[in-house]
Protein backbone atom coordinates (compact mmCIF):
# COMPACT_ATOMS: atom_id res chain seq x y z
CA UNK A 1 0.00 0.00 0.00
CA UNK A 2 1.44 3.36 -1.06
CA UNK A 3 1.09 6.69 0.73
CA UNK A 4 0.89 9.56 -1.73
CA UNK A 5 1.69 13.13 -0.71
CA UNK A 6 -0.58 15.21 -2.99
CA UNK A 7 0.53 18.84 -3.20
CA UNK A 8 -1.92 21.58 -4.13
CA UNK A 9 1.12 23.42 -5.46
CA UNK A 10 -0.03 26.96 -6.23
CA UNK A 11 -2.21 27.09 -3.10
CA UNK A 12 0.67 26.05 -0.84
CA UNK A 13 3.20 28.38 -2.46
CA UNK A 14 1.06 31.51 -2.71
CA UNK A 15 -0.64 31.21 0.70
CA UNK A 16 2.79 31.13 2.31
CA UNK A 17 3.53 34.68 1.12
CA UNK A 18 1.06 36.04 3.68
CA UNK A 19 2.79 34.38 6.64
CA UNK A 20 5.64 36.88 6.86
CA UNK A 21 5.88 40.65 6.43
CA UNK A 22 8.97 42.12 4.87
CA UNK A 23 10.76 42.27 1.57
CA UNK A 24 9.80 40.26 -1.49
CA UNK A 25 12.91 38.12 -0.89
CA UNK A 26 11.65 37.29 2.61
CA UNK A 27 8.22 36.35 1.26
CA UNK A 28 9.57 34.19 -1.57
CA UNK A 29 11.97 32.50 0.85
CA UNK A 30 9.07 31.76 3.21
CA UNK A 31 7.02 30.32 0.33
CA UNK A 32 9.84 27.93 -0.60
CA UNK A 33 10.41 26.96 3.04
CA UNK A 34 6.75 26.32 3.87
CA UNK A 35 6.24 24.31 0.67
CA UNK A 36 9.33 22.11 1.15
CA UNK A 37 8.92 21.80 4.93
CA UNK A 38 5.28 20.82 4.49
CA UNK A 39 6.28 18.05 2.12
CA UNK A 40 9.05 16.86 4.47
CA UNK A 41 6.73 16.84 7.49
CA UNK A 42 3.94 14.98 5.68
CA UNK A 43 6.48 12.55 4.26
CA UNK A 44 7.92 11.76 7.69
CA UNK A 45 4.74 11.88 9.78
CA UNK A 46 2.70 9.69 7.44
CA UNK A 47 5.46 7.50 5.96
CA UNK A 48 5.11 8.84 2.44
CA UNK A 49 6.15 6.77 -0.57
CA UNK A 50 5.72 9.24 -3.48
CA UNK A 51 5.06 12.97 -3.97
CA UNK A 52 2.58 14.24 -6.57
CA UNK A 53 2.51 17.96 -7.49
CA UNK A 54 -0.80 19.09 -8.99
CA UNK A 55 -0.87 22.32 -11.02
CA UNK A 56 -3.61 24.63 -12.25
CA UNK A 57 -5.03 24.86 -15.76
CA UNK A 58 -7.54 27.45 -16.96
CA UNK A 59 -10.46 25.31 -15.67
CA UNK A 60 -13.43 23.85 -17.53
CA UNK A 61 -15.68 25.49 -14.91
CA UNK A 62 -15.26 28.90 -16.57
CA UNK A 63 -16.93 27.54 -19.71
CA UNK A 64 -19.64 25.74 -17.73
CA UNK A 65 -20.45 28.74 -15.51
CA UNK A 66 -19.41 32.17 -16.76
CA UNK A 67 -19.13 33.95 -13.36
CA UNK A 68 -16.72 31.28 -12.02
CA UNK A 69 -13.69 32.98 -10.39
CA UNK A 70 -14.46 36.19 -12.26
CA UNK A 71 -13.81 37.99 -8.98
CA UNK A 72 -10.16 36.88 -9.08
CA UNK A 73 -9.48 39.08 -12.12
CA UNK A 74 -11.18 42.03 -10.43
CA UNK A 75 -8.86 41.53 -7.45
CA UNK A 76 -5.81 41.45 -9.72
CA UNK A 77 -6.95 44.59 -11.56
CA UNK A 78 -7.16 46.43 -8.23
CA UNK A 79 -3.50 45.78 -7.29
CA UNK A 80 -1.15 48.73 -6.93
CA UNK A 81 1.94 48.85 -9.22
CA UNK A 82 4.10 47.65 -6.30
CA UNK A 83 1.72 44.74 -5.64
CA UNK A 84 1.69 43.87 -9.34
CA UNK A 85 5.49 43.77 -9.34
CA UNK A 86 5.48 41.51 -6.28
CA UNK A 87 2.92 39.26 -7.98
CA UNK A 88 5.09 39.06 -11.11
CA UNK A 89 8.18 38.07 -9.09
CA UNK A 90 6.19 35.46 -7.17
CA UNK A 91 4.95 33.88 -10.40
CA UNK A 92 8.48 33.82 -11.82
CA UNK A 93 9.77 32.04 -8.69
CA UNK A 94 6.81 29.67 -8.76
CA UNK A 95 7.58 28.80 -12.39
CA UNK A 96 11.19 28.09 -11.40
CA UNK A 97 10.00 25.78 -8.62
CA UNK A 98 7.59 24.06 -11.02
CA UNK A 99 10.42 23.49 -13.52
CA UNK A 100 12.67 22.18 -10.74
CA UNK A 101 10.21 19.54 -9.49
CA UNK A 102 9.30 18.62 -13.09
CA UNK A 103 12.85 18.20 -14.42
CA UNK A 104 15.16 17.59 -11.43
CA UNK A 105 13.14 15.26 -9.16
CA UNK A 106 11.32 11.95 -9.43
CA UNK A 107 8.06 13.46 -8.22
CA UNK A 108 4.99 13.20 -10.41
CA UNK A 109 3.91 16.61 -11.78
CA UNK A 110 0.43 16.80 -13.30
CA UNK A 111 -1.22 19.61 -15.24
CA UNK A 112 -3.91 19.78 -17.92
CA UNK A 113 -5.12 23.03 -19.58
CA UNK A 114 -8.77 22.33 -18.67
CA UNK A 115 -8.29 21.07 -15.12
CA UNK A 116 -7.74 22.62 -11.70
CA UNK A 117 -5.39 21.07 -9.16
CA UNK A 118 -8.51 20.06 -7.15
CA UNK A 119 -9.69 17.89 -10.06
CA UNK A 120 -6.32 16.15 -10.34
CA UNK A 121 -5.98 15.55 -6.60
CA UNK A 122 -9.50 14.12 -6.30
CA UNK A 123 -8.94 12.07 -9.45
CA UNK A 124 -5.69 10.63 -8.08
CA UNK A 125 -7.44 9.62 -4.83
CA UNK A 126 -10.21 7.92 -6.82
CA UNK A 127 -7.70 6.19 -9.12
CA UNK A 128 -5.82 4.76 -6.10
CA UNK A 129 -8.64 3.68 -3.74
CA UNK A 130 -6.55 1.12 -1.87
CA UNK A 131 -3.73 3.53 -1.00
CA UNK A 132 -3.31 6.29 1.58
CA UNK A 133 -3.31 9.96 0.59
CA UNK A 134 -2.17 13.14 2.35
CA UNK A 135 -3.32 16.34 0.64
CA UNK A 136 -1.13 19.38 1.33
CA UNK A 137 -3.36 22.44 1.00
CA UNK A 138 -5.10 25.20 2.95
CA UNK A 139 -8.19 24.82 0.71
CA UNK A 140 -11.37 23.88 2.57
CA UNK A 141 -12.78 22.23 -0.58
CA UNK A 142 -10.80 19.09 0.19
CA UNK A 143 -12.83 18.39 3.35
CA UNK A 144 -15.26 16.51 1.09
CA UNK A 145 -12.53 13.93 0.36
CA UNK A 146 -11.60 13.20 4.00
CA UNK A 147 -11.86 9.46 4.68
CA UNK A 148 -10.00 6.79 6.67
CA UNK A 149 -7.36 6.73 3.90
CA UNK A 150 -7.39 10.48 3.08
CA UNK A 151 -5.99 13.26 5.29
CA UNK A 152 -5.34 16.94 4.68
CA UNK A 153 -2.28 18.75 6.01
CA UNK A 154 -2.26 22.56 6.21
CA UNK A 155 1.39 23.63 6.06
CA UNK A 156 0.57 27.24 7.00
CA UNK A 157 -1.35 26.50 10.23
CA UNK A 158 0.51 23.21 10.85
CA UNK A 159 -2.72 21.25 11.36
CA UNK A 160 -3.91 17.92 9.99
CA UNK A 161 -7.53 17.03 9.26
CA UNK A 162 -8.47 13.36 9.45
CA UNK A 163 -11.74 11.41 9.67
CA UNK A 164 -11.15 11.43 13.44
CA UNK A 165 -10.70 15.18 13.90
CA UNK A 166 -8.32 18.13 13.68
CA UNK A 167 -4.80 17.76 15.09
CA UNK A 168 -1.87 20.13 15.69
CA UNK A 169 1.75 19.53 14.70
CA UNK A 170 2.30 17.47 17.87
CA UNK A 171 -0.66 15.21 17.13
CA UNK A 172 -2.86 16.73 19.84
CA UNK A 173 -6.52 17.62 19.12
CA UNK A 174 -7.13 21.22 18.03
CA UNK A 175 -9.35 23.01 20.56
CA UNK A 176 -12.31 24.94 19.19
CA UNK A 177 -12.11 28.56 20.42
CA UNK A 178 -15.89 28.81 20.85
CA UNK A 179 -16.71 25.51 22.54
CA UNK A 180 -13.33 25.07 24.32
CA UNK A 181 -13.52 21.41 23.30
CA UNK A 182 -11.71 19.32 20.70
CA UNK A 183 -12.78 20.36 17.21
CA UNK A 184 -14.99 17.52 15.90
CA UNK A 185 -14.13 15.55 12.80
CA UNK A 186 -15.55 16.98 9.57
CA UNK A 187 -18.70 15.49 8.06
CA UNK A 188 -17.64 15.45 4.38
CA UNK A 189 -21.12 14.74 2.97
CA UNK A 190 -22.86 17.51 4.93
CA UNK A 191 -20.04 20.01 4.33
CA UNK A 192 -20.33 19.42 0.57
CA UNK A 193 -24.13 19.74 0.70
CA UNK A 194 -23.87 23.01 2.63
CA UNK A 195 -21.29 24.36 0.17
CA UNK A 196 -23.50 23.49 -2.81
CA UNK A 197 -26.43 25.26 -1.14
CA UNK A 198 -24.59 28.34 0.11
CA UNK A 199 -22.23 28.72 -2.84
CA UNK A 200 -18.61 29.79 -2.58
CA UNK A 201 -17.82 33.51 -2.49
CA UNK A 202 -14.08 32.92 -3.00
CA UNK A 203 -14.81 31.19 -6.34
CA UNK A 204 -17.78 33.46 -7.20
CA UNK A 205 -20.21 30.52 -7.13
CA UNK A 206 -23.63 31.93 -6.24
CA UNK A 207 -25.88 30.51 -3.55
CA UNK A 208 -28.65 28.12 -4.56
CA UNK A 209 -30.85 29.52 -1.77
CA UNK A 210 -29.68 32.89 -0.35
CA UNK A 211 -30.28 33.33 3.37
CA UNK A 212 -31.01 29.65 4.03
CA UNK A 213 -30.65 28.68 7.70
CA UNK A 214 -28.56 25.77 8.88
CA UNK A 215 -31.22 24.65 11.35
CA UNK A 216 -34.86 25.06 10.44
CA UNK A 217 -37.61 26.92 12.30
CA UNK A 218 -41.21 25.97 12.98
CA UNK A 219 -42.27 27.26 9.57
CA UNK A 220 -39.15 26.80 7.46
CA UNK A 221 -36.94 23.81 6.65
CA UNK A 222 -33.20 24.26 7.27
CA UNK A 223 -30.14 22.63 5.72
CA UNK A 224 -29.87 19.99 8.44
CA UNK A 225 -33.45 18.77 7.96
CA UNK A 226 -33.17 18.78 4.15
CA UNK A 227 -29.87 16.90 4.28
CA UNK A 228 -31.32 14.24 6.58
CA UNK A 229 -34.08 13.78 3.98
CA UNK A 230 -31.72 13.78 0.99
CA UNK A 231 -31.57 10.03 0.31
CA UNK A 232 -35.31 9.43 0.61
CA UNK A 233 -36.25 12.69 -1.18
CA UNK A 234 -39.03 13.18 1.35
CA UNK A 235 -41.03 16.20 2.46
CA UNK A 236 -38.19 18.29 3.91
CA UNK A 237 -36.00 17.76 0.85
CA UNK A 238 -38.73 18.70 -1.59
CA UNK A 239 -39.93 21.55 0.58
CA UNK A 240 -36.51 23.19 0.27
CA UNK A 241 -35.55 22.20 -3.26
CA UNK A 242 -38.80 23.29 -4.90
CA UNK A 243 -38.66 26.78 -3.37
CA UNK A 244 -38.29 29.68 -5.79
CA UNK A 245 -36.61 33.03 -5.26
CA UNK A 246 -35.95 36.16 -7.34
CA UNK A 247 -32.48 37.72 -7.71
CA UNK A 248 -31.67 41.44 -7.90
CA UNK A 249 -32.06 41.36 -11.69
CA UNK A 250 -35.64 40.11 -11.34
CA UNK A 251 -34.74 36.62 -12.55
CA UNK A 252 -36.54 33.70 -10.89
CA UNK A 253 -34.55 30.73 -9.63
CA UNK A 254 -35.63 27.28 -8.48
CA UNK A 255 -33.41 26.06 -5.64
CA UNK A 256 -33.00 22.55 -7.11
CA UNK A 257 -31.69 23.89 -10.44
CA UNK A 258 -29.05 26.10 -8.82
CA UNK A 259 -28.16 23.34 -6.35
CA UNK A 260 -27.53 20.88 -9.21
CA UNK A 261 -25.39 23.50 -10.97
CA UNK A 262 -23.32 23.94 -7.81
CA UNK A 263 -22.94 20.17 -7.38
CA UNK A 264 -21.31 20.05 -10.81
CA UNK A 265 -19.02 22.95 -9.87
CA UNK A 266 -18.14 21.96 -6.30
CA UNK A 267 -18.39 18.16 -5.97
CA UNK A 268 -14.96 16.82 -6.91
CA UNK A 269 -16.49 13.49 -7.93
CA UNK A 270 -19.32 14.93 -10.08
CA UNK A 271 -17.59 16.60 -13.02
CA UNK A 272 -19.21 16.20 -16.48
CA UNK A 273 -18.42 12.90 -18.25
CA UNK A 274 -16.00 14.46 -20.77
CA UNK A 275 -14.05 16.13 -17.94
CA UNK A 276 -13.97 12.87 -15.97
CA UNK A 277 -12.40 11.24 -19.02
CA UNK A 278 -9.72 13.96 -19.23
CA UNK A 279 -8.93 13.52 -15.51
CA UNK A 280 -8.66 9.74 -15.85
CA UNK A 281 -6.49 9.98 -18.98
CA UNK A 282 -4.16 12.56 -17.42
CA UNK A 283 -3.54 10.25 -14.46
CA UNK A 284 -3.22 7.13 -16.63
CA UNK A 285 -0.51 8.85 -18.71
CA UNK A 286 1.78 9.42 -15.68
CA UNK A 287 5.10 7.62 -16.16
CA UNK A 288 7.84 6.71 -13.69
CA UNK A 289 10.75 9.16 -13.79
CA UNK A 290 14.40 8.18 -13.40
CA UNK A 291 16.22 11.33 -12.38
CA UNK A 292 19.55 10.74 -10.60
CA UNK A 293 21.41 13.07 -8.21
CA UNK A 294 18.21 14.70 -6.95
CA UNK A 295 19.98 15.81 -3.76
CA UNK A 296 22.63 17.66 -5.77
CA UNK A 297 19.98 19.42 -7.85
CA UNK A 298 18.18 20.42 -4.66
CA UNK A 299 21.40 21.86 -3.22
CA UNK A 300 21.88 23.97 -6.36
CA UNK A 301 18.26 25.17 -6.18
CA UNK A 302 18.71 26.08 -2.51
CA UNK A 303 21.95 27.95 -3.25
CA UNK A 304 20.25 29.97 -5.99
CA UNK A 305 17.40 31.00 -3.67
CA UNK A 306 19.46 31.41 -0.49
CA UNK A 307 17.81 28.54 1.43
CA UNK A 308 20.77 27.73 3.66
CA UNK A 309 18.79 25.91 6.34
CA UNK A 310 17.39 23.43 3.82
CA UNK A 311 20.77 23.09 2.05
CA UNK A 312 22.41 22.15 5.38
CA UNK A 313 19.92 19.28 5.79
CA UNK A 314 19.41 18.48 2.14
CA UNK A 315 19.01 14.70 2.55
CA UNK A 316 16.03 15.18 4.86
CA UNK A 317 14.23 16.85 1.94
CA UNK A 318 15.76 14.94 -0.96
CA UNK A 319 14.36 11.56 0.12
CA UNK A 320 10.79 12.66 -0.65
CA UNK A 321 11.77 14.28 -3.95
CA UNK A 322 13.78 11.24 -5.03
CA UNK A 323 11.07 8.58 -4.49
CA UNK A 324 9.78 7.14 -7.77
CA UNK A 325 6.18 6.39 -8.71
CA UNK A 326 5.55 2.65 -8.70
CA UNK A 327 2.86 2.32 -11.32
CA UNK A 328 0.32 -0.42 -10.75
CA UNK A 329 0.08 -2.93 -13.58
CA UNK A 330 -3.57 -3.42 -14.49
Helices (H), the chain: 9-15, 24-45, 61-64, 70-77, 81-103, 117-127, 188-198, 223-228, 235-241, 255-266, 273-284, 294-304, 308-312, 314-322
* pLDDT score recorded for residue 330: 58
Residue 18 has pLDDT above 80, yes or no: no
Sign (positive/negative) of CA torsion 223, 225, 229, 234? negative
Question: What's the CATH code, domain 3-186+272-322?
Answer: 3.40.50.1010
DSSP string, 211-223: T--SS--SSS--H
Q: What angle do CA 117, 167, 325 make, to 5 degrees?
A: 40
**Is pLDDT above 90 for 73?**
no
Q: Which residues contact 287 (CB under 8 A, 6 or more apart)?
A: 325, 327
Give the pLDDT mean for 48-57. 97
pTM above 0.85, yes or no: yes
pLDDT computed for residue 329 by the predictor: 66
* E strand segments, 131-251: 132-136, 150-154, 159-162, 165-167, 244-246
Q: What pLDDT sits at residue 2? A: 97
Residues 6+ apart with CB under 8 A from 67: 204, 205, 206
pLDDT at 240 over 80: yes
Q: Using one digit for the tens of pLDDT, what is the confidence trace for 283-310?
A: 999 999 999 999 999 999 999 999 999 9
Q: How far is Cα 129 from Cα 77, in angstroms, rounded to an integer?
A: 42
Compute the Cα dihedral for 18, 157, 4, 151 and give only its sign: negative
Three-class SS state of 60: coil
pLDDT band at 167 (very low <50, low <70, confident <90, very high): very high
Q: Which of 8, 258, 275 is nearest to 145 (CA)?
A: 8
* Start-end of CATH 3.40.50.1010 domains in the chain: 3-186+272-322
Average pLDDT of the chain to the nearest whole number: 94
Q: Across residues 219-226, what is the average pLDDT?
A: 94
| pLDDT at residue 115 greater than cutoff 80 | yes
Average pLDDT in the 172-201 region? Answer: 93
Cβ atoms within 10 Å, residue 70: 12
DSSP-assigned beta bridge partners for residue 51:
5
Amino acid sequence: MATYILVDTANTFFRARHVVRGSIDDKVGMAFHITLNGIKKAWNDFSGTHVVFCLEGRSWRKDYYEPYKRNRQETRDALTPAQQEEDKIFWECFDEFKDFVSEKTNCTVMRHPQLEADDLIAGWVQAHPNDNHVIISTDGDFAQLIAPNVKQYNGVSNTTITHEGYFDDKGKPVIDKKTKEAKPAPDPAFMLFEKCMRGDTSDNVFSAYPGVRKKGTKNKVGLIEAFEDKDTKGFNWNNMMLQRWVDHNGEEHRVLDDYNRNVTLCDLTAQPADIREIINNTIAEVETKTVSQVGLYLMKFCAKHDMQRIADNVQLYADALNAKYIKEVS
